[in-house]
Copies of this chain bind each other. A is one copy, B any other.
């Protein structure tokens, strides 16, 4: 591994961009979708299949990994890449989001957050400095500053207080990263501000003042709805620098991602393809397919003839049987098919942007999905 972290935009179509993030562990084509590998595994998938599905980068969860097997242990075992048999880039979150959603007895101060592990009740402290240290121990290529993911809904006052804390933590994170990181690793700032355009503006400018090689948009897809999310993305990307990658955290459905790409977003992560796969839901080029539905019991069509994924070539009747029977192979095949669909969707978006017809591409996919979406 050598080289610098870099980002270049190769083509634009409206506000949508396609380009490449260069890291010491390889190139990430953007727009990019990062499958989530919470506990050092993209659930129900062999690592080589995650790569075969087209993923250039995966996401690891700092909160989970610091609790089990532990960051120091992962470092001792050669780092997260070697540990989980994934040699391409890894982005890690800071752990802050999961502390809020999973841990018990949280206490936030200016110093950081103290919580009890959801696994064994142990008291753990996570500070901006420790979050960076953990991510460096894991060896992640793209790291995130510790922030407070402002709960939704939040009053303007609460959102402002939360935002100010996150901006102070961002500054401390950058300092810690300068001391601890390895060459080529990058630390991204995270824009907060809830659904208040002026706070989003303020947050983006505060982070740019500190200066990061990439910027995430956080605190969205938390219940505000797609319209408000798109508004906040639009406000934020209008301010963020053109020459840095922009990452919309925790998003989302195909329609969410296409709408965000149209507003200038370059990166996504979401548990949706894998979690849905484990629950019998497929994402296909024909829209969503709920394999639990009895209408598939004798349906000999492949899951998705438009996909190149080997798992998508299995017949719907067989997948229905596996899902109904609670067989692991059902989760394995649908996770693989969904992760590859998400990658094919990103590849389609990249090509469409390069060809100057992204709007048509996005509209076509959205129409297919509108027809199949659950009520």
- B43 pairs with A328, CB closer than 8 A: yes
Chain A interface: which size bin? Answer: 20 to 34
Q: Are B68 and A318 in contact (CB under 8 A)?
A: no
Known: A77-B300, A83-B318. A39 touches B325 (CB 8 A): yes
B77 touches A44 (CB 8 A): no
Interface 0/1 of A311-331, CB less than 8 Å to B: 000110110011011011101
The distance from the CB of A285 to the nearest CB of chain B, in whole angstroms, is: 21
What are the interface flags for A21-52 relative to B under an 8 Å C-beta threshold, 1 for contact and 0 otherwise?
00000000000000000011101111000000
Q: Whole-angstrom distance from the CB of A190 to the nearest CB of chain B?
A: 27
Whether A73 lies near B297 (C-beta < 8 A) is yes
A281 vs B31: C-alpha distance when bound (angstroms): 41
For residue A51, give the distance in angstroms from its CB to the closest CB of chain B.
Answer: 14
Interface residues of A in 280-301 (CB under 8 A from B): 297-298, 300
In the complex, which of the residues B40, B317, B329, B331 contacts A318, with contact meaning CB atoms closer than 8 Å? B40
Residues of B within 8 A of A315 (CB): 77, 83
Residue of B nearest to A85 (CB): B314
Q: Give A124 Cβ to nearest chain B Cβ, in Å.
A: 17
Say yes or no: B318 contacts A44, CB within 8 Å: no
A69 at the interface (CB under 8 A from B): yes
Which residues of chain B come closer than 8 Å to A324, judged between CB atoms?
68
**Residue among B39, B77, B321, B332 making CB contact with A69, cutoff 8 Å:** B321
A84 within 8 A of B: yes
Q: Is A76 an interface residue (CB 8 A)?
A: yes
Evaluate contact between B321 and A44: CB separation under 8 angstroms.
no
A328 in contact with B328 given A40-B321, A297-B73, A300-B78 (CB within 8 Å): yes
Contacts of A78 in B (CB 8 A): 300
Establish whether residues B331 and A69, one from each chain, have CB atoms under 8 Å apart when the complex forms. no
Q: Would A43 and B83 count as touching, CB distance under 8 A?
A: no
Q: Mark A192-228, 1 if CB is under 8 A from B, else 0.
A: 0000000000000000000000000000000000000
Contact B76–A327 (Cβ < 8 Å): no
Known interface pairs A83-B317, A85-B314, A328-B332; A77-B41 also in contact (CB < 8 Å): no
Q: How far is the CA of A281 from the CA of B83 in the complex (A)?
A: 20
Q: Which residues of B contact A297 (CB under 8 A)?
A: 69, 73
With A44-B329, A46-B332, A83-B318 already in contact, 4 other A-B pairs whose C-beta atoms are closer than 8 Å? A41-B327, A41-B328, A73-B297, A85-B314
- A-B residue pairs in contact (CB < 8 Å), sample of 17: A39-B321, A39-B327, A41-B329, A43-B327, A43-B328, A44-B329, A45-B329, A46-B332, A68-B321, A68-B325, A69-B297, A73-B298, A77-B315, A78-B300, A85-B314, A328-B331, A328-B332
